[in-house]
Amino acid sequence: MDATSLISLSAPLLIVILLKTIAKYLSSQQKNGPYAPGPKPLPIVGNILDLQMKEPGPEYAKWSKKYQSGICFATAFGNNILVVNKHADADELFEKRAKIYSDRPHIPMIKLVGWEGMVSLMPYGNYWRLCRRICQQHFNYESAKNYRPIIREKVHDFLLALLETPNNFASHNKMLSISFAVSIMYGYQMKSVDDPLITAANHSLLLAGSLLTPDASIINLFPFLAHIPLWLSGLMTSRKAAAEAEGLMKYMQESMLNFAKTSIKNGAAVPSLMTNFIEKPSTSQAGEEEEKAMQDVAFTTYAGATDTTIAVTSTFFYLMAKHPEVQRKAQAEIDQIIGSTRLPEFDDRPSLPYLEAIYREVMRWNQSVPVIPHALTEDDYYKGYFIPKGTTVLGNIWAMNHDEDVYPEPFAFKPERFFDENGNLDKNNRILSYGFGRRICVGKAVASSVVWFMMASTLSCFNIGKAKDEFGNEIELNGEYRTEGLITVKEEFKCSILPRSQVYKDFIQAEKNTSV
């Protein structure tokens, strides 16, 4: 929370906050049945001291063990929170009862940072349905195949960058993720991660993401404070940061849209979501609304795809360096099925079950968004417990992916866990990181293709291992992660990335020459 937010407020304003908090607290006490078990709340403030922002996944998972329940209830200043730690409970609430569990919690800072058009955070309603329909039309399983040429191009660029300057892996990782997103959304061809538009967009995302958690700004706890004068000292930090984030986001959106329109006018447009839409203009009011929705979908895709893909790729390289035995087994499978006469293609995926198991295990082992919030639009009862309307329902993906009853030795990296007793891939192919129900990630087919193709191509061409210092001693891998707003990010680490042979170096060069 802002360092001096509370102590610097004027006395009258503190009184207003206190009265509103008490009123909300008293209204929250009018319950229609028992709540699910959870930490004992304090008067008025509730469980604000029990809520976790830095490592919510593992901390909330402990609640289930402590209170012997897959669902746990808490409050904070009269706001109700239900934590869902078990997959079966998540399926029941988010899938079977999706009609009333598909809203998103109201986060006041979303409007201040200009993220009202962020589809993943948008309230459940008609405009969300319009954006969702656009996403389904362009990112469903069949449509995802249309992006394969772009995925292939960007991944092969990634391979060439790794070949030329492997020590710049972090930069190459960002380039892969971001260049793909802006290409399919706007037809924009990035030349560098230092591109001014990308720098502005990324800084906007970083600023905005840091303001959305309850502890980031007092405004998230007391929404009416968003309407007080900006000069009030205790709120200047978050309000100014929000204004900067909004300005940078609008700059990126407007610049990208202008680029798309100019490229069409000049006859140099590359097929993309926005260029394809602009080429079929409409002057009707519905057309104007759809254009806004297209812009919101485009920015949402950029925001959602970049950070998550960067996080998954970083985790993959870390795990391959840490587990050379897994890497060798995957490479043996690739060599057996594909041989050394070409690079992997998308159609090879069904023939590479061990690589598929690696994909599943990487996605299970760590998730960039450990907790996914939903909101309840009607009072509900579940397992005899009352869940009030307006409750924030947190799907703890981290807890589900580390459930010992489902995944023995959950902290071990074991792709073999996805094979049955006959040596075949089992049916547990659900990637929980993509979410649930009507709020499931619509772009999961595209995301899966990008990540799988990156894994297949990288393992085909490179050996990934621990880096060595100037004396030839191995440098231990940095296994730490950090939280940036709502995202869990892998800390940078050093690793060795070497071509498997001259044959693969030639393949990479040949692919690049072909694309040029």
| pLDDT single digits (tens) 126-145 | 999 999 999 999 999 998 99
> In this model, does residue 226 exceed pLDDT 80?
no
Mean pLDDT, to the nearest integer, of 72-94?
A: 95
> In this model, does residue 370 exceed pLDDT 90?
yes
Q: From the annotation, which residues make up the binding site for heme? A: 441
The more confident residue out of 471 and 360 is: 360
Residue 19: partners with Cβ closer than 8 Å, 6 or more residues away:
none
> In this model, does residue 6 exceed pLDDT 50?
no
Mean pLDDT, to the nearest integer, of 20-39?
A: 68
pTM: 0.90
> In this model, does residue 10 exceed pLDDT 80?
no
**11-515: CATH number:** 1.10.630.10
> In this model, does residue 110 exceed pLDDT 60?
yes
Q: From the annotation, which residues make up the binding site? A: 441
Between CA 396 and CA 389 the distance in angstroms is: 20
Alpha helices in 266-284 (DSSP H): 273-278
> In this model, does residue 95 exceed pLDDT 70?
yes
Residue 74, strand partner residues: 81
The more confident residue out of 479 and 224 is: 479
Using 50, 70 and 90 to split pLDDT, how confident is the model at 4? very low
pLDDT digits (tens, 9 = 90+) for 306-336: 888 999 999 999 999 999 999 999 999 999 9
Q: What residue ranges do the domains of the chain occupy?
A: 11-515
State the pLDDT at residue 53.
75
Of 201, 231, 253, 222, the closest CA to residue 109 belongs to: 222
> In this model, does residue 40 exceed pLDDT 80?
yes
Between CA 470 and CA 34 the distance in angstroms is: 63
For residue 235, the tally of other CB atoms under 10 A from its CB is 23
pLDDT digits (tens, 9 = 90+) for 400-438: 999 999 999 999 999 999 999 999 999 999 999 999 999
State the pLDDT at residue 222.
72
Using 50, 70 and 90 to split pLDDT, how confident is the model at 304? confident
